[in-house]
Structure 1
């Protein structure tokens, strides 16, 4: 089913709910309409480092929350760094310093990306963070995106023992609920062995799952609703060999630059 038809069905469902409010109680109906996940069996593109045109066969595009969605017939996914800070937003987070995870007074850093971890240790901080990220999520919906990707679900594994899996789960549940309230599907990113459907995630973006032998874990949870991206040539070839008949494998450069590497598995048969 094309994304435009999916959007039409979602809008129609919303009208049905609005009419139902006039004749029946809302609580019984509010949870019945779920945001549509991306279509399966179609090519996709990952454009966090800069936007670019896409071939006609690409039906799903992921872009940063500050970029415009491609719109048209494409299913648009909004990238939000939900569990860590963006490197260029440190000024913003200094204004919310109590929500940044610190050890001995200094921010705990994801060294690979230079990102500060967010402090998920208390319910009050999780609520405050979910309000901030929730506003970004609402903006994604207002801009016309169909779904949201919350990055770094596994940040607790880089927290030097300060965060727990339970902290991450409780916070993730808030973010997914906010996405659904905004009419957006929600993508799990990272932590392949964990079943994100337990908190309502609708699909997964599987970064380097062939390189780390995790594609099967995502498929066990989400079936065909998995979008794999590889950054190295050999894992990409392996992913094409092992998964291309079922999943839309993509190769990008690590920077996801607008003029960077972009490959899809060669057609077979």
Structure 2
């Protein structure tokens, strides 16, 4: 889940010297996996994360992370034709009233709001009911041709969800989500949930993080980097030239974004 600090967003102040540099060739960064194997993004691969606005397919990034519902099969095909890998953003831990399948989730499964308009935490203990609902969403991602899934809101147990969720409940659910993606031949990323990285690094193919430099948490992603798995990272606040050297040293795939996650970005390179 994007940090609640987004509600207090202030304009970014970037130095002119931090203008994005051209990235290495896409095919060198993100080669196709051997037949029958899932895509495994490596540390340092470049990426673009766009969840709002008209999708800009011209950004020179090896990996695109885009909204699974709003991105069309044709747009995914365009990205893949240009050599990009594609990640399907799907909320798996929170209900969203604006999604076409919102009515399929029982009202008794909906908890407290998660800080974003129209979103409420899910009771992730109800695995038998959630499995077909999330599975259907992942079927959509696969049918559209995505290479991977970014499941969001994967740390309800650490928030005021409205349910007595435990760390063990979260581990069971997150592993279910990973299995559902893998069963469909797609890679899957661990979104935030830093406390459970040691237990989950073996179940996930990459990680997605927001603001680990700002909160001094990036060292917690060492297990992913040591396993040769990419950590896709964004910062919203601060100046790129101040946090970028540390992100490079940590081998993160880093960029600066605005809170609304439109097409704009500044690459840490």
Could you tell me how far apart the structure 1 residues matched to 2:243 and 2:201 are? 27
Q: 1:199 to 1:133 in 2, by over 3 A?
A: farther
Q: Which runs of 4+ in 1 moved over 4 A?
A: 1-5
8 Å Cα contact 1:172/1:199 also seen in 2 = no
Deviation at 1:114, TM superposition (A): 4.3
User: Structure 2-normalised TM-score?
Assistant: 0.77
1:90-129 to structure 2, matched below 5 A, reads: 92-98=101-107, 100-101=109-110, 107-121=111-125, 125-129=126-130
8 Å Cα contact 2:52/2:261 also seen in 1 = yes
Q: 1:126 to 1:78 in 2, by over 3 A?
A: same
Aligned to 1:134: 135
Deviation at 1:88, TM superposition (A): 1.4
Spell out, residue by residue over 1:81-117, the C-alpha distance to the aligned partner (whole angstroms, 9 max, x if none).
010022413x74344224523xxxxx41112454111
Larger Rg: 1
8 Å Cα contact 2:52/2:262 also seen in 1 = yes
Could you tell me how far apart the structure 2 residues matched to 1:137 and 1:3 are? 25
Could you tell me how far apart the structure 2 residues matched to 1:202 and 1:212 are? 24
Could you tell me how far apart the structure 1 residues matched to 2:108 and 2:140 are? 21
1:23-62 to structure 2, matched below 5 A, reads: 33=37, 35-50=38-53, 51-56=55-60, 58-62=61-65
Aligned to 1:21: none
Task: State whether structure 2 residue 218 is matched by structure 1 residue 211.
Answer: no
Aligned to 1:247: 252
Deviation at 1:257, TM superposition (A): 2.1
- Could you list the runs of 5+ residues in structure 2 that have no partner in the other structure? 1-26
